[in-house]
């Protein structure tokens, strides 16, 4: 609700639910109330994923619905999932631009970022920074992995501020010309992820 209030420029009006002790937005289109029993799982899937592939069937928690409320003639918002770029690409690009100022509040050295469709948005992040000291790129990359959903970024490419990360050709050239894995600027390993640190940016 904090993000919704930030985007609207005013607080979101909330109301109490009918069957559970929670509040929901007063103008929500559809509200599903219910509960989840700890440990109760059921097999679901496979699902078509935004990567253009199917995710495997797996066990997921079961949600027991106790009440459904809705507006008169509610709108059910959804997207079509398929091989990228689809609708979610444009949503991802909007999120990238909306969150850049917030990221820069935490990391003022960040000049720009790009999460291209080629990386399925969260898997690849190109970041340009204004470097102030050796190792600055490592600090930025570690901080990015510590900011909410960006922990899912599998590859972060950090470049100097003079590289236009929105121009993927320019970003690729900078990476190809300067990347030296395992040399003076090593690959940063984490759980299921890595990052390119450009010599000039590191």
Q: Which of 78, 84, 79 is nearest to 53 (CA)?
A: 84
Strand-pairing partners, residue 125, are 156
Kindly report the length of the chain: 202
Q: Residue 57: exposed, middle, or buried by beta-carbon count in 10 A (0-12, 13-18, 19+)?
A: exposed
How far is 45 from 53, CA to CA, in rounded Å? 12
* Beta strands 23-25 and 14-16, pairing class: antiparallel
Residue 143: enclosing H or E segment and its boundaries?
Answer: helix 136-145
Active site residues: 49
Task: Give CA–CA dist 73/45, Å, rounded.
Answer: 30
CB 130 within 8 A of CB 111: yes
Residue in 79, 95, 87 with CA at minimum distance from that of residue 152:
95
The CA distance from 158 to 141, in Å, is 8
What is the spatial distance between Cα 37 and Cα 165, in angstroms, rounded to a whole number? 46
């Amino acid at each position: 609700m904090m993000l919704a209030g930030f985007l609207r420029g005013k607080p979101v009006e909330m109301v109490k639910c009918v069957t559970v002790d929670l509040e929901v937005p007063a103008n929500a289109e559809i509200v599903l109330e219910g509960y989840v029993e700890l440990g109760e799982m059921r097999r679901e899937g496979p699902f078509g994923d935004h990567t253009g592939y199917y995710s495997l069937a797996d066990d997921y928690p079961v949600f027991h619905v106790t009440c459904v409320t809705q507006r008169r003639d509610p709108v059910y918002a959804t997207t079509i999932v398929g091989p990228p770029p689809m609708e979610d690409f444009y949503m991802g690009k909007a999120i990238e631009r909306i969150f850049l100022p917030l990221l820069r509040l935490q990391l003022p050295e960040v000049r720009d970022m790009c999460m291209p469709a080629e990386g399925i948005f969260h898997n690849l992040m190109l970041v340009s920074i204004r470097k102030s000291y050796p190792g600055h790129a490592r600090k930025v990359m570690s901080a990015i992995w510590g900011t909410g959903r960006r922990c899912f970024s599998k590859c972060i490419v950090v470049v100097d501020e003079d590289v236009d990360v929105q121009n993927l050709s320019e970003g690729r050239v900078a990476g190809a010309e300067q990347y030296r894995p395992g040399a003076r600027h090593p690959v940063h390993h984490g759980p299921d992820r890595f990052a390119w640190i450009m010599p000039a940016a590191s």
